[in-house]
Amino acid sequence: MSAKFDQNDDSVVVIVGSGAGGGTLGNELAQKGVKAVILEAGPRTEYTDFVNDEWESFGQLAWKDMRTTSGDWRVHKDFPNLPAWIVKSVGGSTTHWAGASLRLQEHELKTATTYGRVPGANLLDWPITLADLEPYYARAEDKMGVTRTNNLPGLPGNNNFKVLKAGADKLGYKECHTGRMAINSIERDDRNSCHQTGFCFQGCKWGAKWSTLYTEIPKGEKTGNLEVRPDSHVAHIEHDASGKVTGVVYFDKAGKIQRQKARIVAVAGNSIESPRLLLNSASSKFPDGLANSSGQVGRNYMRHLTGSVYAVFDKPVHMYRGTTMAGIIRDEARFDPKRGFVGGYEFETLSLGLPFMAAFLDPGAWGREFTAALDSYVNMAGLWIVGEDMPQETNRITLSDAKDQWGLPVANVNFDDHPNDLAMRAHAYKQGFALYDAVGATRTYPTPPYPSTHNLGTNRMSENPRDGVVNKNGQTHDIKNLFVSDGSQFTTGGAENPTLTIVSLAIRQAEFIADQMKGNVI
Amino acid sequence: MKLKVGEDHGAVSRRAFLQRSALGVAAIAITPAGALINASEAWGLEVKGLKPQTMKTLILVARDIYPHDKVPDRFYAVAMKSYDDSAAKDPAAKAATEAFVAALDGAAGAGGYAGLGWEAERVAVLRAMSHDPMFQTIRGGLVVSLYNNHDLWPIFGYEGESYSKGGYLHRGFDDIDWL
- Residues with Cβ within 8 Å of B26's Cβ and at least 6 positions away in sequence, in order, are none
Shortest Cα distance from A60 to chain B (angstroms)? 16
Q: What is the pLDDT of residue B27?
A: 82
- Rounded to 10 degrees, what is the CA torsion of B152, A384, A94, A196? 60
B10–A contact, CB cutoff 8 A: no
Q: Could you tell me if A258 and A476 are in contact, meaning their C-beta atoms sit under 8 angstroms apart? A: no
pLDDT tens, chain B, 179 aa long: 344 444 444 444 444 444 444 443 458 999 998 999 998 888 999 999 999 999 999 999 999 999 999 999 999 999 999 999 999 999 999 999 999 999 999 999 999 999 999 999 999 999 999 999 999 999 999 999 999 999 999 999 999 999 999 999 999 999 999 99
Q: Is A379 helix (H, G, I), strand (E, B) or coil?
A: helix
Rg (CA), chain B: 18
Q: Could you tell me if A102 and A496 are in contact, meaning their C-beta atoms sit under 8 angstroms apart? A: yes
Helices B133-145 and B73-89: angle between axes, nearest 10 degrees: 130
Which residues of chain B lie closer than 8 angstroms to A378, CB-CB?
156-158
Q: State residue A76 phi and psi, 5-degree precision.
A: -60, -40
Q: What is the pLDDT of residue A1?
A: 79
Q: In this predicted model, what pLDDT tens digit does every residue of A288-319 receive, in sequence order? A: 999 999 999 999 999 999 999 999 999 999 99
Q: Residue A124: which H helix or E strand, with range?
A: none
Distances (CA, A) of A231 to A43, A264, A308, A419: 5, 21, 34, 41
User: Which of A159, A185, A317, A349 to mutate against chain B (most B CBs within 10 Å)?
Assistant: A159
CA distance A27 to A322: 30
Q: E strands along A279-438, which residues? A: 308-312, 328-329, 345-349, 380-387, 396-403, 409-414
- Yes or no, beta carbons of B68 and A370 under 8 Å apart: no
Length of chain A: 522
Which residue type sits at A490?
F
Which residue type sits at A83?
P
CA distance A216 to A499: 14
Mean per-residue pLDDT, A71-82? 96
Q: Could you tell me if A224 and A29 are in contact, meaning their C-beta atoms sit under 8 angstroms apart? A: no
- Yes or no, beta carbons of B176 and A364 under 8 Å apart: no
Distances (CA, A) of A100 to A24, A498, B102: 17, 9, 52
Mean per-residue pLDDT, A427-450? 98
Shortest Cα distance from A69 to chain B (angstroms)? 19
Q: Looking at the predicted structure, is the pLDDT value of residue A483 above 90?
A: yes
Query: What's the maximum distance between 2 C-alpha atoms anywhere in chain A?
Result: 70
Q: What is the pLDDT of residue B23?
A: 41
Q: State residue A474 phi and psi, 5-degree precision.
A: 80, 10
- Yes or no, beta carbons of B168 and A358 under 8 Å apart: no
Q: What is the pLDDT of residue B17?
A: 44
Q: What is the 3-state secondary structure (H, E, C) of B68-112?
A: CCCCCHHHHHHHHHHHHHHHHHCHHHHHHHHHHHHHHHHHHCCCC
Q: What is the pLDDT of residue B6?
A: 41
CB pairs under 8 A between A and B: 119
Distances (CA, A) of B78 to B106, B114, B147: 26, 19, 11
Helices (H), A327-413: 354-360, 368-375
- Rounded to 5°, the CA angle A367-A368-A371 comes to 90
CA distance A129 to A143: 22
Q: What is the mean pLDDT of chain A?
A: 98
Mean per-residue pLDDT, A391-395? 98
Mean per-residue pLDDT, A461-475? 98
DSSP summary character for residue A191? B
CA distance A389 to A123: 11
ipTM of the complex: 0.95
Q: Residue window 67-106, chain B: list those with CB within 8 Å of chain A.
A: 67-68, 70
Helices (H), A361-478: 368-375, 419-437
CA distance A144 to A211: 8
- Yes or no, beta carbons of A366 and B156 under 8 Å apart: no
Which residue type sits at A478?
D
Shortest Cα distance from A367 to chain B (angstroms)? 5
Shortest Cα distance from B70 to chain A (angstroms)? 8
Which residues of chain B lie closer than 8 angstroms to A206, CB-CB?
163, 167
- Yes or no, beta carbons of A55 and B172 under 8 Å apart: no
A176-177 and A245-251 as β-strands: parallel, antiparallel, unpaired?
A: unpaired
Nearest one of A337, A426, A392 to A114, comparing CA atoms: A337
- Yes or no, beta carbons of B160 and A375 under 8 Å apart: no
Q: Which residue of A has its CA nearest to B146?
A: A355
Distances (CA, A) of A522 to A8, A262, A267: 18, 12, 16
Nearest one of A154, A143, A200 to A180, comparing CA atoms: A154
Q: Is this prediction's pTM over 0.90?
A: yes
CA distance A472 to A125: 11
Q: Which residue of B has its CA nearest to A370?
A: B66
- Yes or no, beta carbons of A197 and B162 under 8 Å apart: yes
B155–A contact, CB cutoff 8 A: no
Q: Report residue A61's pLDDT band, with 50, 70 and 90 as the boundaries.
A: very high
Q: Looking at the predicted structure, is the pLDDT value of residue A376 above 50?
A: yes
Which residues of chain A lie closer than 8 angstroms to B158, CB-CB?
320, 353-354, 377-378
Which residues of chain B lie closer than 8 angstroms to A369, CB-CB?
none
Helices (H), chain B: 14-23, 52-65, 73-89, 91-108, 119-128, 133-145, 153-156
B14–A contact, CB cutoff 8 A: no
Q: Looking at the predicted structure, is the pLDDT value of residue A121 above 70?
A: yes
Shortest Cα distance from B154 to chain A (angstroms)? 10
Q: Looking at the predicted structure, is the pLDDT value of residue A136 above 90?
A: yes
CA distance A290 to A191: 40
Half-sphere exposure of A4 (CA within 13 A, CB side): 1
Q: Residue A165: which H helix or E strand, with range?
A: helix A159-171
Q: Looking at the predicted structure, is the pLDDT value of residue A271 above 50?
A: yes
Nearest one of A45, A88, A44, A47 to A64, comparing CA atoms: A88
Q: Which of A52, A354, A439 sits opposite B162 (nearest CB)?
A: A52
Length of chain B: 179
Nearest one of B53, B155, B167 to B111, comparing CA atoms: B53
